[in-house]
């Protein structure tokens, strides 16, 4: 049995989408700075496609009993891809950070403040330990 034209249309659309999107679209190529820091871009990718078609009956083949008669086919397909930068993974000698593209990112602020909180708590414990020794 021969494939219906809509199958070929959908297959072609999916192959082209597959060519447009690969893992490097989401996790980009790493960039290494002069100081040795590696920066990896991270993106959100959304895509979709639609296809459709119709067979057109003429005056000569308008009966319901078409058998193996081929009728004209018209079809089309379309696809859309959105690539939105989310942030950058910054890998330094001593740390790894996720820099978000969103200016108001609470998670990033919390992660940035953790070393300061640890230093504060550590200094309080050290101060209390010194006071007990005296």
What does the pLDDT look like over 48-70, one tens digit per residue?
A: 878 888 887 776 655 555 556 67
Which position has the higher pLDDT, 133 or 36?
A: 36
pLDDT band at 28 (very low <50, low <70, confident <90, very high): confident
Closest CA to 5 of 49, 65, 64, 54: 54
pLDDT band at 38 (very low <50, low <70, confident <90, very high): very high
Q: What is the pTM of this model?
A: 0.48
pLDDT band at 76 (very low <50, low <70, confident <90, very high): confident
Strands 96-100 and 73-91: antiparallel
Integer Cα distance of 73 and 92 in angstroms: 58
Closest CA to 38 of 107, 102, 95, 84: 95
Q: Give, as one character, the DSSP assignment of residue 21.
A: -
**What's the order of all strands across the beta sheet hosting 38-55?**
31-32, 38-55, 73-91, 96-100
């Amino acid at each position: 049995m021969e494939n219906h034209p809509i199958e070929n249309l959908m297959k072609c659309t999916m192959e082209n989408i597959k060519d447009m999107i690969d893992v490097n679209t989401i996790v980009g190529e790493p960039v290494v700075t002069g100081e040795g820091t590696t920066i990896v871009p991270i993106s959100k990718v959304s895509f979709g496609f639609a296809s459709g078609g119709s067979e057109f009956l003429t005056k000569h083949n308008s009966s319901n009993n078409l058998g193996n008669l081929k009728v004209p086919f018209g079809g089309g397909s379309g696809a859309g891809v959105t690539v939105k930068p989310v942030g950058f993974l910054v890998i330094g000698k001593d740390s790894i950070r996720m820099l978000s593209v969103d200016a108001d990112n609470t998670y990033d602020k919390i992660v940035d403040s953790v070393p300061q909180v640890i230093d504060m708590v550590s200094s309080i414990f050290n101060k209390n330990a010194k006071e007990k020794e005296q």
